[in-house]
Amino acid sequence: MGKQVRLVHSVSRSALASVLEHGLKAVHDYSCVDLEMRKNVVCCWLRKEDDRLRREDRTYVEVTVEEGRCLVADMDIISLAMMYEPGSGSDAPAIPVRKNAEAARLLAEVYRITAVPLAEYREGMFGSPEVLVSGDIGPEYIRLME
């Protein structure tokens, strides 16, 4: 077993009991942008402060996983890629963006090639570092954060 690391995951309050009992299931695909690295993963944060998507209906759990399962990437870049992806987002986004498949593809490629294994990540490398943990996370590796 490799080095264990502690990460943070945001959970809806209504799903908390289920997560604590059954664990976190890897999501087949975390975005409309077609990237293999965003498939079959659980998205986590290095710390709560990194979560720029905070909402009142959510709470946090701490997960303990093997460092080798983790890849860190810049959520700001993939968010831009998804914003440009044709067919994504709401009909009236907060920032009106002309859909552009080429822009989405190029941004997704930047996201992919700049991602690093967690062991190589250094503070400040990304504006919004998200950690992609491959595979499911069992309930025995999850605890409610205070």
Asked whether the predicted pLDDT for residue 32 surpasses 70, the reply is no
Q: What is the largest CA-CA distance in the chain?
A: 47
**Residue 64, pLDDT score:** 98
Q: pLDDT tens digits, residue range 70-125?
A: 999 999 999 888 888 887 655 545 556 678 889 999 999 999 999 999 999 999 99
Task: Give the pLDDT confidence score for residue 102 in this predicted structure.
Answer: 92
Query: Counting beta carbons within 10 angstroms of the beta carbon of residue 57, is it exposed (0 to 12), middle (13 to 18) or buried (19 or more)?
Result: exposed
Instruction: Report the domain count for the chain.
Output: 1
On whether the CB atoms of residues 71 and 37 are closer than 8 A, the answer is: yes
Which domain does 77 fall in, by range? Answer: 4-144
Would you say residue 51 has pLDDT above 70? Answer: yes
Q: Please, where are the H alpha helices in the chain?
A: 16-22, 75-84, 101-114
pLDDT at 47 over 90: yes
Stated pTM of the model: 0.87
H-helix segments, 5-145: 16-22, 75-84, 101-114
